Amino acid sequence: MSSSIIKKTSTATGFIKAIESGSKHLIMKRFTLRFPEQKLKFVGDGYQFDPKRGVGIAGSRGRHILFHEKCTGCQLCAITCEGIAEAIEMVKVNEKWKQNKKSIMPQIDYGKCVFCGLCVDACPFYALYMTDDFELSSFTKEHLIYTPAQLAVKPKYDGTVEVKIDERGASHG
Amino acid sequence: MTNEFSESLEKKLEETTKLGLEVVKEATEDRLMKLSVGPQHPGSGHFRFTIKVDGDYIVYCDPDPGYVHRGEEKMCEYRNFIQNIPHLERPVIHDSTNITYSYSLAVEELLGIEVPRRGQFIRAIASELNRQVYTLYWLAIYGIFLGHSTMFMWPAGDRELFIDLLTALTGARVTHAFNIPGGVRNDIPDGFKEKCLEYVNYFEKRLKEYENIFYNNPLFRQRTENVGILTKDDAINLGVTGSVLRASGVAYDVRKVEPYDVYNEIDFKVQYMKTCDSFARAYVPFLDMRESCHIIRQLLDKMPESGEVRMKLQSNPKGTPGESYKRVESGRGALSYYIVSDGSSRPYRVKISVGSFRNILALPHLLVGSRLGDMPCIYWALNYWPVEADR
The pTM of the full predicted model, rounded to 2 decimals, is 0.87
Collect all residues of chain B within an 8 Å Cβ-Cβ radius of residue A115.
172, 175
How far apart, in whole angstroms, are the C-alpha atoms of residue B106 and residue B95?
18
Between B302 and A171, residue with greater pLDDT: B302
CA distance, residue B189 to nearest chain A CA (Å) = 6
C-alpha dist (Å) from residue B121 to A142, B219, B303, B306: 43, 41, 6, 11
Chain A residue numbers touching B216 (CB-CB < 8 A): 6, 9, 14, 17-18
Interface of A with B in 132-161 (CB under 8 A): none
Partnered with residue A165 across adjacent β-strands are: A170
Task: Identify which of A76, A82, A114 has the shortest CB distance to residue B86.
Answer: A114
Percentage with pLDDT > 90 across chain B? 11
How many Å apart are CA B336 and CA B74, to the nearest integer?
16
Quick check: B208 pLDDT over 80? Answer: yes
Domain residue limits, chain A: 48-151
Q: Taking the CA of residue B36 as centre, how many other CA atoms within 13 Å lie in the half-sphere pointing to its CB?
A: 9
Peptide bond into A36 cis (omega under 30): no
- Inform me whether the pLDDT recorded for B28 exceeds 60: yes
Q: For A62-89, what is the mean pLDDT?
A: 88
Q: Is the pLDDT of residue B25 over 70?
A: no
Predicted-complex ipTM score: 0.87
In this complex, do A18 and B202 lie within 8 Å of one another by their Cβ atoms?
no
Span B183-190, average pLDDT = 88
Closest CA to B48 of B384, B336, B347: B384
CB B227 within 8 A of CB B277: yes
Helices B192-210, B117-145: axis angle to 10 degrees equals 30
Q: What is the mean pLDDT of residues B345-373?
A: 87
- What pLDDT sits at residue A97? 83
Phi, psi of B166 (to 5 degrees): -70, -30
pLDDT of A23: 87
Q: What is the pLDDT of residues B134-146, one digit of tens each?
A: 999 999 988 888 8
* CATH number, domain A48-151, options 3.30.70.3270, 3.30.70.1350, 3.40.50.1980, 2.30.110.10: 3.30.70.3270
- Give the DSSP letter string of A23-65: HGGGSSPP----TTTS-BPPSBTB-EEETTTTEEE-----SEE
Asked if B149 has any chain A CB less than 8 Å from its own CB, the reply is no
Q: What is the pLDDT of residues A39-53, one digit of tens each?
A: 888 888 888 888 888
- Split at pLDDT 50, 70, 90, the class of B23 is low
The answer to whether the Cβ–Cβ distance between B273 and A3 falls below 8 Å is yes
In the prediction, which pLDDT does B295 show? 92
pLDDT of residue B136: 92
Residue B82 touches partner A, C-beta closer than 8 Å: yes
Q: How many CB pairs under 8 A join A and B?
A: 136
pLDDT exceeds 80 at position A7: no
Confidence (pLDDT) at B133? 92
Mean local confidence (pLDDT), A145-150: 90
Residue B150 has pLDDT above 70, yes or no: yes
Q: Give the pLDDT of residue B325.
A: 92
CA pair distance B207, B199, nearest whole angstrom: 12
Interchain proximity B198–A165, CB inside 8 Å: yes
pLDDT surpasses 60 at A2: no
The C-alpha of B173 sits at a distance from chain A's nearest C-alpha, in angstroms, of: 9
Residue B20: what pLDDT? 66
> What pLDDT, on the 0 to 100 scale, is given for residue B15?
75
Mean pLDDT score of chain A: 85
pLDDT in tens, B327-338: 998 888 889 999
Does residue B56 sit in helix, strand or coil?
Answer: coil
**For the CA atoms of B142, B147, B150, B156, what is the dihedral angle to 10 degrees?**
30
* Predicted local distance difference test score (pLDDT) of residue B146: 86
List A residues 22-41 in contact with B (Cβ-Cβ < 8 A): 22, 24, 31, 33, 40
B207 to chain A, any CB pair closer than 8 A? The answer is no
Mean predicted confidence (pLDDT) in A116-140? 89
Q: Let me know: does A47 contact A57? Beta carbons within 8 Å.
A: yes
Least confident of A79-83, A91-95, B30-34, B112-116: B30-34
Contacts of B221 (CB under 8 A, 6+ apart): A14, B215, B279
Mean pLDDT value across residues B191-220: 88
* Mean of all residue pLDDT scores within chain B: 86
Cα separation, B210 vs B142, whole angstroms? 13
Among B92, B35, B93, B95, smallest CA distance to B64 is for B35
Picking from A8-12, A104-108, B246-250, B375-379, which range would have the lowest pLDDT averaged per residue?
Answer: A8-12
Cα B251-B256-B261 angle, rounded to 5 deg: 160
pLDDT of residue A28 exceeding 60: yes
**Residue B278 pLDDT > 60, yes or no?**
yes
**Dist CA B215 CA B212 (whole Å):** 6
Task: Domains for chain B: give ranges and CATH numbers.
Answer: 72-390 (1.10.645.10)
Nearest residue on chain A to B199, judged by CA atoms? A165
Q: Does B189 touch chain A (CB under 8 A)?
A: yes
